[in-house]
Amino acid sequence: MTYSITYQTDGGVITTYSGIVTDHDIISCAKERTESPDTLKEFKYFLSDFTDVNEFNVSSNAIKTIAHLTVQASKANKNLIIVVIVPTDLEYGMSRMWAVYSDESNLKLHMARTKEEALEYLNEQL
């Protein structure tokens, strides 16, 4: 598994990716975080950190799939904040694609290059 999910006491969910990330990894993780609408209502934010990723082998089809899951999640929790730490140009570009495909969710989606930038944005929103 190239990701770990940590549930925070403040209502946050932090996902840390590492090594080689594939379509399977990113879709499995998205499904795991969004599979229960009842649980989704309790979350305040998702923070996904791609800082430790060595290879990002994720297709545009996988991005569309996780965007669809994001839209579905927004129906259960309209106040969810999603912040993604994407230090490389490829990861940043793919996350922008995800944000465009997720537009109808009307969630607060933010892409940051560093953890500091991500946490600053998150703290402003909470």
Q: Could you report the per-residue pLDDT of 7-53, keeping only the tens digit for each? A: 999 999 999 999 999 999 999 999 999 888 778 889 999 999 999 99
Calculate the alpha carbon distances from 79 to 32, 41, 107, 112 in Å: 19, 9, 7, 19
Q: What is the pTM of this model?
A: 0.93
Q: 67 falls in which pLDDT band (50, 70, 90)?
A: very high
Q: Which of 40-44, 74-78, 103-107, 113-117 has the highest mean pLDDT?
A: 113-117
Mean pLDDT of the chain: 94
Q: Where are the domains of the chain?
A: 3-125
Does residue 1 have a pLDDT over 90?
A: no
Domain 3-125, CATH class in plain words = alpha beta
Calculate the alpha carbon distances from 11 to 29, 35, 62, 70, 106 in Å: 18, 16, 27, 17, 20
